[in-house]
Amino acid sequence: MATVTIQTGSAQPLRVRDALEMPGDDRAPVQGRSSRSDAYPIHVTRTLPEALLRLNDLIGDARVGLITDSAVESLHGRALLEGLDDLGIRPDVAVVPSGEVHKSLDEAVRLWHWLAAGPLGRRDVLLAFGGGVVIDMGGWVAAGYMRGMRYINLPTTLVGQVDAGIGGKLAVNHGEAKNLIGGFHQPTGVVSNVSYLETLDVRHIRAGLAETIKKALIASPDYWTFIEARAEAILAKDLEALEQLVAAAGAIKATLIERDPYEYDSRRTLGFGHALAHPLETITGYGPIIHGEAVALGMVVECRMAAARGLLAQDTLERVIALLARVGLPTCAAELPAAVDGDALIAATEKVRLARGGHLRWVLPAALGDTLIVDDVTDRELRAALRACGIDVRRQLS
């Protein structure tokens, strides 16, 4: 057996002693192995000074590159930079244009050029300061730069705080499909400061609620009860209610991810509503229907398919639709902010299915906290559910 001795010491050079043996003659296949356990804190704060304290701990003495979008920069950039400056942290800043359409390979490449031209190294840290767009793209840029540099999420939208900021699932969009180019890379830490949500419009609060209702339905009847009880306070941006909402979302998502970090099986429930939401965003050009709205409709479609199979009780279906409607999320085509071409939607869904080797996974709920992941949904079932949501899909695919 080989022995490996690694001696480390702050003042001493790193010494590595190896005596690896040649493999035997049997030519047995070598098994590549890698295992790693990532752990990171998810902090929820109510004020910028508290958030800055958390950031200071996470950053340590690393250099910082800050990625944000134009809207967040003009609303909150200055206060953050001043607060960091007081701590002796002076980041290099990159600003991307605001909006889903800019979660793109082109913007990611621009960010890599910016990094390459600057002083940041692998041990330094990127700070993703913005909504899900900045987080998904900033994290992915961090993952790809120098084979993976550290990044911290400072989400400023409800979607970012309850979902995108946690779990290290990163990507940019492509004209062919949403999130087509991406990977997994966990953050060094997450600081969700709910006071950032005070400047967020109610449409984006609703969009964030869609991702919390998703978590409640797949994993936590308790969380469902909380959302039902506090929906109005959340929409009114009551900071205490938001803090509870965000903290619980972090705890629930962290538990689901720990079980299945790379989405081999059980984590797939987090994709509830997304098998349809992503094609819906793609065919409408990444903009008119925002992510949370698309997820809301996608959840209704999956619930309808589950009810049609006799899996989900009719009254639970109605309860889901009622809660989504109560918080102002779309539950049928007429409530979507853009017209949807049903045939284009089915074609885009089919494209995703083919790109995934013929299997498109659907998450069908059976009850609160009880879901089935299936890949045998037929074209007929999908069309029936879409029609029940008022989406016109009469023509068959050629």
Ligand X SMILES: NC(=O)c1ccc[n+]([C@@H]2O[C@H](COP(=O)([O-])OP(=O)(O)OC[C@H]3O[C@@H](n4cnc5c(N)ncnc54)[C@H](O)[C@@H]3O)[C@@H](O)[C@H]2O)c1
Binding site for ligand X (CB under 6 A): 69, 71-72, 75, 98-100, 103, 130-134, 136, 156-157, 159-160, 163-164, 167, 169, 179, 196, 199-200, 204, 207, 211, 290-291
Query: Is the CB of 140 or the CB of 316 nearer to ligand X?
Result: 140
Query: Is the CB of 124 or the CB of 211 nearer to ligand X?
Result: 211
Query: Is the CB of 62 or the CB of 67 nearer to ligand X?
Result: 67
Nearest approach in angstroms of CB 216 to ligand X is 15
Decide: 393 and 342 in contact? Cβ < 8 Å. yes
Give, in degrees to the nearest 5, the angle at Cα 264 between 262 and 266: 100
Which strand (E) or helix (H) includes residue 339? none
Decide: 237 and 198 in contact? Cβ < 8 Å. yes
Task: Quote the DSSP letter at residue 77.
Answer: I
Report residue 375 as tokens. 């890949």
Nearest approach in angstroms of CB 6 to ligand X is 35
Ramachandran sector of residue 397 (left: φ over 0; alpha: ψ -120 to 50; beta: rest): beta
Query: Is the CB of 120 or the CB of 200 nearer to ligand X?
Result: 200
How far is residue 260 from each of residues 167, 266, 269, 357, 374, measured CA to CA in Å?
10, 6, 11, 21, 17
Query: Is the CB of 62 or the CB of 111 nearer to ligand X?
Result: 111
Nearest approach in angstroms of CB 358 to ligand X is 24
Q: Identify any residues that bridge with 7 across adjacent strands, giving them in sequence order.
A: 15
Query: Is the CB of 7 or the CB of 47 nearer to ligand X?
Result: 47
Query: Is the CB of 4 or the CB of 101 nearer to ligand X?
Result: 101
For residue 204, give the 3-state DSSP assignment.
Answer: helix
Nearest approach in angstroms of CB 276 to ligand X is 14
Nearest approach in angstroms of CB 95 to ligand X is 11
| Cβ-Cβ contacts under 8 Å for 347 (sequence gap 6 or more) | 397
Decide: 48 and 80 in contact? Cβ < 8 Å. yes
Nearest approach in angstroms of CB 155 to ligand X is 7
Query: Is the CB of 89 or the CB of 207 nearer to ligand X?
Result: 207
Q: Identify any residues that bridge with 170 across adjacent strands, giving them in sequence order.
A: 183
How far, in Å, CA of 207 to CA of 209, rounded? 5
CB atoms within 10 A of CB 195: 18
Nearest approach in angstroms of CB 195 to ligand X is 9
Residue nearest to ligand X (CB): 132
CB atoms within 10 A of CB 252: 21
Identity of the residue numbered 188: T
Nearest approach in angstroms of CB 186 to ligand X is 11
Strands in 61-149 per DSSP E: 64-69, 92-96, 125-130
Nearest approach in angstroms of CB 14 to ligand X is 36
How far, in Å, CA of 63 to CA of 378, rounded? 52
Query: Is the CB of 91 or the CB of 160 nearer to ligand X?
Result: 160
| Residue from 300, 292, 340 nearest 132 by CA | 292
How far, in Å, CA of 161 to CA of 205, rounded? 11
Query: Is the CB of 54 or the CB of 215 nearer to ligand X?
Result: 215
Q: What are phi and psi of 362, to 5 degrees?
A: -115, 145
Nearest approach in angstroms of CB 204 to ligand X is 5
